[in-house]
Chain A
Amino acid sequence: MTIIHPGEKIIRVVHRHWIVVAQKMTMVAFLILVPIVGLFLLPLFVIPEALAALAVYLFSLYTLFIAVIAFGMWMDYYLDIWIITSERIIDIEHKGVFNREVSEFMMERVQDVTTHNPNFLSLLLGYGTIEVHTAGEKTFVGHDLPNVKEIKDIIIETRMKRA
């Protein structure tokens, strides 16, 4: 369990930008919509009853499969999190339902912070990638975070206070 130290203040809790999950969910909606249209058109064709029952079964199986994938996508969005506190940055990342990685690094170890808006939409909505280079070997990367410039400023400001 992530324990916040006494006197440690949570400055910002950051999830991925909503547009990222919205894009994925639009794709899921489209994938479900296509067989629904097919199912409504099914009575227009003269096909054996057994084949129609099989089509309904395959459709329900397909919808279940898509719903599970959508759930996985939502979980990935919902549980991936960056917590910026007055002392450290905690990066919790899910790679699947049960595969979970928690990294944290002290503000004192922060050396450089880089932000990157990879495309036009990200520039327009202000989300992007943030890279925090630490004194160690590892670079911490947060993908599709909202207000990256503001987050960068918060990290730099907190780092300056800790110096």
Chain B
Amino acid sequence: MNQFQYIVYIPLLPLLSFLLLGLFGKKLPGRISGFIGTLVLLAVTLLSVCVAYEYFFLDGKQDGVYKLLVPFKFTWLSFSPGLSIDMGITLDGISAMMLVVVSLVSLMVHLFSLDYMKGEPRFSVYYAFLSLFTFSMLGLVVATNIFQIYIFWELVGISSYLLIGFYYEKPSAVAAAKKAFIVTRFADLGFLVGILMLAFYAGSLDFETIMQTLRNGNSPQSLAITSASFLGFSALTWALVLVYAGGGGKSAMFPLHIWLPDAMEGPTPVSALIHAATMVVAGVYLVARLFPIFSFNNAALEVVTFIGTISALLAAIIACTQTDIKRVLAYSTMSQIGYMMLALGVSRYGGEHGLGYTASMFHLFTHAFFKSLLFLCAGAVIHFVHSNEMKDMGRLAKLMPLTHLCFLVACLSIAGVPPFSGFFSKEEILSAAYRHNKLVYGIGVFTAGLTAFYMFRLYFSVFWNKTNKEYHHHAHTGPMMKIALVCLALFSIVSGFVPFSKYISSDGVPFQVEAEWMQSLLPIAVAVLGILAAYILYFKESSRPEIIARNFGAIYRTAYRKFYIDELYLFVTKKIIFNGIGRPAAWIDRNIVDGTMNAIAKLTARLSNLIKGFQSGQLQAYVMYFFAGVAGLTLLIIYLWK
């Protein structure tokens, strides 16, 4: 597959621009570094679109099946003849799709930031970090083996850390960056253990080899991993669940989601890129990448479904009560990723049964566009109002017509109103859930209603509501920002019409999804209901929301406090881990380990204090000692010689 050789440049170009901007960015005047970064991304986007076109329409299909191609690969570290860590590039449906999504959204964010970050003293550093992130994300997407994914996974984590903590003068940003890094690191521990288990049993790190050996039920490796068991589950289940824990940490799945709302401390375009469109779906991508193995193990799939459903519902409920515009969006991201996970969980391998897989990837695709659009609009609004709080906003529809329009498109899309993109993907997810599990379907539909409600609550309170609101400082929306918003709005409208199941399916065989209009009536009705409720409550300034909040009392408070999950974490870490493990360990360290060393040092010091007087600096005293020594030795020799 030599015609795909140029794909190597897709991850390498951002790396180059990272090095360039990171080393020399400070010397470049004005916004030059931003333009360099954006141009590089433009090239990457064009290449990605080329690759996707060639793969989907020209070379990818053999005998009607989309193959997994490895156009480029070299051995990076080899441990033993069978086991080595390779660096390479995998091309299949999902990686080609992800290449396009990541580079497109990244390009839009680069463009948007040109205006948004104007005047920032660390402008070039910001662009260097963005390039680093893009490089790592593209590397993650095209990984050929599970260890390469892990390496880029951590690189993505560190660039996310750097960007969340970009405003490092703010203590809250530093705390948020640390929280994100530590929580995801904790999850990655599970991921690493899972990788090691898979690699141990399959004898390889390579995706293709692992899948071939483990999917064949009669191979010795497959028998070994399914027969070994721990606490009633097979080693395969454990490995997959651990890998999923890593994915769940990155994708902010319950109960590891606590870092995502705090990560909103970073610059808003960063939230759009990393914490909405690309990095947080890495977990979904990981599960999809390993789906041939996941689909082999029902227990692991149940876990995926369960966690996804809970996350979707929980986040939607919390989002209804939050007042910070970016936090609402963060919880909605978590909720939508929950949808993707549950779609993967209800999917099975091959053909019609793989509808959930296709739906999940479809939702990932459309979500990337409308969610980054939402974030960028929020960025424009924050730029204008200089506040994140919804109570400081209102009546913006007249003042920012373009942003208003784009935000409305994105809201309709996420709420699942036809013909916007979110409708198609969500409908596909729900019908996949309907076929598999009615309870999950019910929760999914309910969550769809909640989604429509909280998105339009946000929309109405930001753009309508307060009729006499005045703004003093008008920061105007720059031309680059407008271009990015319009492009993303267009993508949000049209991306739903892509016949996804023709290109991406769990086994590579294209299939046809029959649209069941009867079934999609219910989600549409629920969405419209949610929008209506939001309209009644929030279109005009009124006291109705507060009355409802008061009537719900405890429930409202619990949701507002995010179900006390943060407090629970604090309780577990501060009270149990710190007091039960940390303090005794610190005591042992301080009193026993350090104590021994301190005692030895103190003894030496005391001894030297006793004898240091001999070194007086007085030459004649030294001569005296010397002479006394010689005399003593002489006497000794004279009397002992005999």
Asked if A and B are interacting partners, one says no
A-to-B contact residues, CB < 8 Å:
none
B-to-A contact residues, CB < 8 Å:
none
